[in-house]
């Protein structure tokens, strides 16, 4: 068994290991998050850490020889909405797109044909969808983007706040399970709770949804939290991690087996202009 078959971290392989990968079936997984404020109780690295833990956990669960490799985490992301809050480090849209395009070019040059972004930051799914298609067009890779936090909540787990999108119950529970030493639960606050009242009378407008509102953190929160961390626990976080990691592993298995079928030549009707 080669070193590449034993491990799953791309950066720990040798160039010979990578050259031996089966180009048509090997899947490169790119965890991507953000370094941004998460209120007074969660660390700046929350999104990047969550993305990395899910990516590594899912690929590890696939077992040796799965042909799925985790790339080094892209910790910086598009955090424009949090600029101005101390600690936030944001890439511009153009910069992050360029980084992702360079990633696609490099993977293509290594013979890889499938790339999955595992995203931990809610401010960049649309950007990743756009750049995925650009990579597909420019370099021929099949590209997929997944945000584990968009998987359904496990049975019996309910977020008490429908707008709990940043530093709330779910995210705090995840961090209590993954890195409890970085959580300052005694400093947690609830904020942004008036959003329910703001949007209740609107038929179509939402914070994020069918007709989303472009927002900055200063529009919706004084503390930097959007949600209610009350009741968050490591136990709930462990249930979320187990369920979402399993779902991500299933998705990666589907990605590994997926390919677009070749289209047959278009047959022209008799008498059609040529």
pLDDT number for residue 230: 95
- The separation between CA 92 and the C-alpha centre of its own chain, rounded to angstroms, equals 17
152 inside domain: yes
Question: For each successive 10 residues of the chain (274 residues), what is the average pLDDT?
Answer: 62 89 80 98 98 98 91 98 98 98 96 96 97 98 97 94 93 98 97 90 90 96 96 98 98 95 78 58
The answer to whether residue 90 sits within a structural domain is: yes
Residue 273 inside a domain? The answer is no
pTM of the model: 0.93
Is 204 among the domain residues? yes
- pLDDT, residue 269, reads 73
Nearest-Å Rg of the Cα atoms of the chain is 21
Give the pLDDT of residue 75.
Answer: 98
User: Per the structure, how many domains does the chain have?
Assistant: 1
Which 8-state DSSP code applies to residue 28?
Answer: E
Per-residue pLDDT, 5: 45
For residue 70, the cross-strand partners are: 9, 29
Residue 200 lies in a domain: yes
Q: How far apart are CA 40 and CA 158, in angstroms?
A: 23
What pLDDT sits at residue 272?
57
List, in order, residues 6 or more apart from 95 with CB less than 8 Å away. none
Q: Which domain holds residue 170?
A: 9-255
Return d(Cα 227, Cα 229) in angstroms, integer: 7
263 is a domain residue:
no
Instruction: Assign residue 100 the CATH number of its domain.
Output: 3.40.50.10310
* Tokens 């249930």, located at residue: 239
Q: What is the pLDDT of residue 2?
A: 45
pLDDT for 227: 95
Task: Kindly state whether residue 261 falls inside one of the protein's structural domains.
Answer: no
Distance CA 126, CA 78 (A): 11
Angle at 58 between CA 57 and CA 60, to 5 degrees: 65
With respect to residue 2, please indicate whether it lies within any of the assigned structural domains.
Answer: no
Which DSSP letter does residue 38 get? B
User: What integer pLDDT is reported at residue 19 of this predicted model?
Assistant: 84
């Amino acid at each position: 068994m080669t070193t590449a078959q034993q491990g799953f971290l791309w950066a720990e392989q040798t160039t010979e290991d990578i050259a031996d990968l089966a180009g048509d079936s090997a899947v490169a997984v790119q965890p991507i998050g953000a370094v941004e404020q998460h209120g007074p109780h969660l660390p700046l690295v929350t999104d990047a850490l969550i993305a990395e833990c899910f990516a590594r956990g899912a690929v590890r669960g696939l077992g040796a020889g799965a042909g799925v490799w985790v790339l080094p985490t892209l910790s910086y992301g598009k955090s424009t909405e949090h600029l101005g809050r101390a600690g936030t480090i944001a890439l511009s849209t153009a910069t992050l797109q360029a980084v992702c395009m360079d990633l696609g070019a490099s993977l293509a040059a290594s013979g890889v044909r499938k790339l999955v972004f595992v995203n931990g930051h809610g401010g960049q799914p649309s950007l990743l969808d756009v750049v995925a298609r650009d990579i597909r067009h420019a370099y021929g890779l099949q590209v997929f983007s997944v945000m584990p936090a968009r998987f359904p909540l496990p049975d019996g787990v309910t977020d008490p706040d429908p707008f709990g999108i940043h530093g709330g119950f779910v995210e705090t529970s995840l961090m209590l399970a993954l890195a409890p030493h970085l959580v300052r639960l005694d400093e947690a606050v609830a904020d942004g709770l008036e959003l329910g009242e703001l949007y209740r009378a609107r038929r179509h407008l939402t914070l994020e949804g069918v007709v989303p509102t472009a927002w900055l953190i200063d529009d919706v929160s004084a503390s930097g939290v959007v949600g209610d961390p009350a009741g968050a626990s490591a136990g709930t976080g462990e249930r979320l991690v187990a369920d979402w990691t399993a779902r991500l592993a299933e998705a990666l298995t589907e990605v590994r087996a997926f390919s677009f079928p070749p289209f047959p030549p278009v047959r022209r009707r008799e008498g059609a202009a040529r």
